[in-house]
A and B are shown apart, each in its own frame.
Chain A
């Protein structure tokens, strides 16, 4: 007999606005056997978090659980009164939120916060609880399990904090753990260590869990069952392998298709002189010192080139300096050293020295479409400004051009009279793109343009970019932290780590070793869309990210030194790595030769 721990049936949640109820979860039902993990997957607005929260008997402000029943063990959650819910939450059902950084109180030590749940519910004495916490820290593969509890939240890394939150949730030995996008805010290389720890704990303790995510590949590693949601309705439920290999519903198929992006590169010929060339670029923030260097150096000695009609991918984790690179080219951050050549001529890195023509030819598309459109202007005004500013086009002609631009980015013309707040995220990103296109630029700097979007919407934006590139022949600098997107759209790829260019080469060169050790870590950390990927990872990837404040390696040495799994003792700590040219136009910054790296990484 299968012991069913959780049973949900006929769940309906409504959102109330101005007296009208809009259903946001419609007739959802599922059951989870004890010791299994159910994944809720869907795009933003699909109701996955709402369902997860209703398992705690909680509805967000303005929402109400209308009908349905939820049973966890012997408890009927929706029939509980306030006191019953108090006993339930954190004791029988616990919750791990998306942002651990926001969930911890910065003023209290980690141990105080981890044992708090156990003390509130009186499940154990403080000494016992602390012993159990240390045990959990060890199980979650945290460094120094005995001492980490005495630290404050800002003294550990983001990935560690996420695991500490798991310890907080597990300390009362709850029947059910709800994980709400626990790795979405993390870098891929960090995500992997967190996933590993979660998986181990879930398996070892036989915990029952609900895992909420938008990322199928992550879910494939964690879940026994997957429930696919869209618009608050269940599309499909089934065992993980079945959903991944034999999706029945068309929506699941589109999700799967969007998760594995197809190459969208053009076939433009490389011209004789590159459109943009950067040599020995150094840039940063803060006061400039006596040597002309900024206090915080974000980019160090960067060289790169983008050909006409080509796409250059810039990839790296948060803090690697990729956004700063785009800002230097756009003129928002001055370069301390080095030259930027645009179309063969030097480009002033200061805003005030650039001509309007130079501004027109280089357009930047910022990451966050929510904040990049002025909320006080309507869409027509937003698009009309670059037309008037660069081309002097006004009146009827401008209206025609705006209609054409909206058509180009596949938006209805009626959208022109709306304000940004009335558009969806994908629509805003299209307007953002249309504004850049209005200038008829030669180079578009795309800074994480798909990161804030759902997979399916993001894929549509990528398609659009590829199409524009084909039709208009613009060059793109495509900045992303997501290697699969970069692979799909770029001809050339540059890998940044801590402000240094550690690896570069064509898209093909990025498909097989040898890589720079960081690029190797980055590529291997991207979850694959199959079960068992996490278990099959090679041991060289199990490197802990350093805690904040650990300090960078001394200047001049390899910036990846403290995380490098293949460093050469006695060499890497003393000598700066040479820039090596490998076969196929690849360039890496490493002491290892191409052959050595290839041997290490093919295992």
Chain B
């Protein structure tokens, strides 16, 4: 109850851009959860004789290149895109933060080895890595998650480590060490709570990067494989309708755009002062 109220107050205190972002983020999360349940048609069913049909009462978002209902397609695809990206971004942020905490508290050679390893990783372009992985192992959902998580862990590690190293030099951490606390306690209870906020902002950005990476992969035909489809695959399969100005190719693109832009707007509004990161 109080949580809901304080949440509402936070939402009300956001600037307009932040509120718009929040609205779309919540909308997309709801769609990801209940989307398939409210879809008017079966995701694979060819329901209309018209390919690339226009917006109409029967098919609010038109039909795709086979005459399937676009609304149902988008509702299903959103779950794939958001679910995959969420899992991959969570994995990247959690791994990065944990490794960074270990590196920062242990210091010395452990820090040195881990940091250089991450530097090596960061030098591999994420799309190249993804292409190589798919070429070697074939595309599957677990592999896509693993690839995206691998690509974005070093970035999260870098940010988390620099935060942790800064917090580590503060006097309350020194006080804990002078008390004789073990490294585990120092990392968990003294350092971690003071870097959670910027890491949350970083998580949001990483989520966006993963959405874009996975959509890009799917657009190239290397992402989620038919009969399943994510938003990127929807753009790809309907690319033929581009010259007709078919809604089928525009709708999923708009979906990707609103999702990524609204997450960014929300993060900017929540943590104006948090560390801003460019894609590594």
Contacts and interface: CB of A to CB of B under 8 A. Distances in A.
A376 B188 CA distance: 12
A156 B7 CA distance: 53
A377 interface: yes
B109 to A, nearest CB: 15
A364 B178 contact: yes
Given A359-B179, A359-B180, A332 B194 contact: no
Interface in B53-95: none
A374 B181 contact: no
Interface in A357-375: 358-360, 363-364, 366, 368, 371-375
Contacts of B172: 371-375
A386 interface: yes
A332 B170 CA distance: 13
B179 A371 contact: no
A541 interface: no
B194 A374 contact: yes
Contacts of A354: 180
A245 B144 CA distance: 82
A463 to B, nearest CB: 24
B193 A351 contact: no
Given A371-B170, A374-B190, A376-B193, A366 B175 contact: yes
A358 B179 CA distance: 10
A330 interface: yes
B181 to A, nearest CB: 7
Interface in B161-187: 170-172, 174-181
A533 interface: no
Contacts of B193: 374, 376-377
A385 B194 CA distance: 17
Contacts of B179: 359, 363, 385-386, 389, 439
A42 interface: no
A366 B174 contact: yes
Nearest to A371: B171
Contacts of B194: 374-376
Contact of B171 (A359, A363, A368, A389): A368
A125 interface: no
A225 B183 CA distance: 56
Residue with the greatest number of chain B CB neighbours at <10 A, chosen from A354, A373, A374, A385: A374
A435 B176 CA distance: 11
A372 B176 CA distance: 9
Contacts of B181: 389
A372 B180 contact: no
A374 B189 CA distance: 9
B171 A351 contact: no
A332 B171 contact: no
A331 B172 CA distance: 15
Interface in B73-121: none
A17 interface: no
B178 A372 contact: no
Interface in A339-398: 351, 354, 356, 358-360, 363-364, 366, 368, 371-377, 385-386, 389
Interface residues of B, number: 15
Contact of A356 (B180, B189, B190): B180
A419 to B, nearest CB: 11
Contacts of A373: 172
A368 B174 CA distance: 12
Interface in A313-349: 330-332
Contact of B175 (A331, A372, A375): A372
Residue with the greatest number of chain A CB neighbours at <10 A, chosen from B171, B180, B181: B180
Contacts of A377: 189, 193
A330 B175 CA distance: 10
A325 to B, nearest CB: 14
Contacts of B170: 371
A272 to B, nearest CB: 28
A376 B193 CA distance: 6
B171 A331 contact: no
A370 to B, nearest CB: 9
Contacts of A330: 178
Contacts of A389: 179-181
B178 A332 contact: yes
A45 B194 CA distance: 28
Contact of A351 (B175, B180, B189, B190): B180
A45 B190 CA distance: 31
A69 to B, nearest CB: 38
A375 to B, nearest CB: 7
Contacts of A439: 179
B177 A372 contact: no
Contacts of B176: 374
B107 to A, nearest CB: 12
Contacts of A375: 172, 194
Nearest to A359: B180
Contacts of A359: 178-180
A356 B177 CA distance: 12
Residue with the greatest number of chain A CB neighbours at <10 A, chosen from B171, B179, B190: B179
Nearest to A365: B175
A366 B176 CA distance: 11
Nearest to B170: A371
A372 B171 CA distance: 5
Contacts of B175: 364, 366, 372, 435
Contacts of B180: 351, 354, 356, 358-360, 389
Contacts of B178: 330-332, 351, 359, 363-364
A366 B171 contact: yes
Interface string A257-292: 000000000000000000000000000000000000
B276 to A, nearest CB: 22
A351 B177 contact: yes
A372 B174 CA distance: 8
Nearest to A329: B178
A332 B190 contact: no
Contacts of B174: 332, 366, 372
Nearest to B193: A376
A317 to B, nearest CB: 21
A435 B181 CA distance: 14
A335 to B, nearest CB: 15
A284 to B, nearest CB: 18
A358 B176 CA distance: 14
B163 to A, nearest CB: 13
Interface string B175-215: 11111110000000110011000000000000000000000
A354 B175 CA distance: 15
A356 B185 CA distance: 15
A426 B193 CA distance: 25
Residue with the greatest number of chain B CB neighbours at <10 A, chosen from A366, A375, A376: A376
A332 B141 CA distance: 49
A360 B180 CA distance: 8
Contacts of B189: 374, 377, 385
A435 B174 CA distance: 14
Nearest to B196: A376
A136 B144 CA distance: 72
A121 to B, nearest CB: 37
Residue with the greatest number of chain A CB neighbours at <10 A, chosen from B175, B176, B177: B175
In the A-B complex, list the 3 residue pairs whose CB atoms are closest, starting with the nearest: A359-B180, A376-B193, A372-B171
Interface of B: 170-172, 174-181, 189-190, 193-194
11 contacts: A331-B178, A332-B174, A332-B177, A351-B178, A359-B180, A364-B178, A366-B171, A366-B175, A374-B172, A376-B193, A386-B179
Given A363-B178, A374-B176, A385-B179, 16 more contacts: A330-B178, A332-B177, A360-B180, A363-B179, A364-B178, A368-B171, A371-B171, A372-B171, A374-B172, A374-B189, A375-B172, A375-B194, A376-B193, A376-B194, A385-B189, A389-B181
